[in-house]
A and B are shown apart, each in its own frame.
Chain A
Amino acid sequence: MAYHDDLLRQALQLIHKEPRNPKQASLRRAVSTAYYAIFHLLINEAVANWKQVSLRAALGRAFDHNIMKAASNRIQDTRQFAFAGENPRLVAALKDVAKTFVQLQEKRHIADYDNTTFWTKTEALAQVKSAERAFETWEPIRNHPIAQAYLVSLIIRKRD
């Protein structure tokens, strides 16, 4: 099983680690792990296009959280990306994956650093489930040209 799949599974395990009275540590680690699941899924998918397999992991190190966030936000803006002529359902699916990435990145930041925020089980589970849904959404669109273009955009810093 791939690393990102293991991370997603681990996030769900953390949610259910203490069924009756979940510890904040478990819920917060679950949210953080869910973010890293989608982070590594997208990187894994992007570097899979690199012909030399032994260099894919090294290429994966080039990805930057902020650049990935900016790219994921850009495709939400129809003024920048109209996706003219594309299947609307496909575009919506891609946008859902990108939105989930941005959402989870922010939640990871709160989960990892903000001790003032209390997480309920539903709050944490909703984030983990959104990652799970993004995995499912990604699978059937992963080879489509607009999904592949999105993967490339994740590594490109936009120049003004």
Chain B
Amino acid sequence: MAIVPAPLVHGTQLANKITKVIRKLGNEVVRVNYSLGSDSTGEPAIFFRVVLTDAASREDKLAEVTGRIARILFDEVRPYENWGLLPYFSFRSKSEQKARNDPEWI
């Protein structure tokens, strides 16, 4: 599983924590990227972008897979409690990202 760290605005502590947690996400995850910024109401936020395998992106699996991944990142990184960051999650399939090749997802 490839891991691409984001800019370390909060220093290495947050980045290290996220990297450790990403390793626990399993084979359904192709890649996780994230960035820090503000959400639509101006609150500090962390935006996770998760590329899933095509099999894990199937409609009948998607709710379970995305719910589990978001829960692990939320519960183990604790972005809100420990870093004051509201976490947001986006999910794409591997083939969708290949077709789009959006740099912020690479």
Cβ of A63 to closest chain B Cβ, rounded Å: 16
Cβ of A105 to closest chain B Cβ, rounded Å: 8
Binary interface profile of A, 49-89, with partner B (CB < 8 Å = 1, else 0)? 00000000000000000100100010011110000000000
* Interface size, chain A (Cβ < 8 Å): 27
Q: Known: A130-B67, A133-B67. Is A102-B86 also a contact (CB below 8 A)?
A: yes
Cβ of A151 to closest chain B Cβ, rounded Å: 21
Is B92 a contact of A122 with CB atoms below 8 Å? Answer: yes
Binary interface profile of B, 88-106, with partner A (CB < 8 Å = 1, else 0)? 1111110011001010000
Q: Known: A118-B100, A123-B91, A126-B91. Is A109-B40 also a contact (CB below 8 A)?
A: yes
Binary interface profile of B, 52-65, with partner A (CB < 8 Å = 1, else 0)? 10000101001100
Is B40 a contact of A78 with CB atoms below 8 Å? Answer: no
Count of inter-chain pairs, beta carbons less than 8 A = 65
Is B40 a contact of A122 with CB atoms below 8 Å? Answer: no
Is A77 a contact of B67 with CB atoms below 8 Å? Answer: no
Q: Known: A66-B41, A129-B66. Is A73-B102 also a contact (CB below 8 A)?
A: no
Within 8 A of A (CB), among B47-85: 52, 57, 59, 62-63, 66-67, 70-71, 74, 80-81
Is B40 a contact of A103 with CB atoms below 8 Å? Answer: no
Bound complex: CA A78 to CA B80 (Å) = 10
A142 within 8 A of B: no
A143 within 8 A of B: no
Within 8 A of B (CB), among A110-141: 110, 118, 120-123, 125-126, 129-130, 132-133
Is A69 a contact of B74 with CB atoms below 8 Å? Answer: no
A106 within 8 A of B: yes
A interface list, Cβ under 8 A from B? 66, 69, 73, 76-79, 96, 99, 102-103, 105-107, 109-110, 118, 120-123, 125-126, 129-130, 132-133
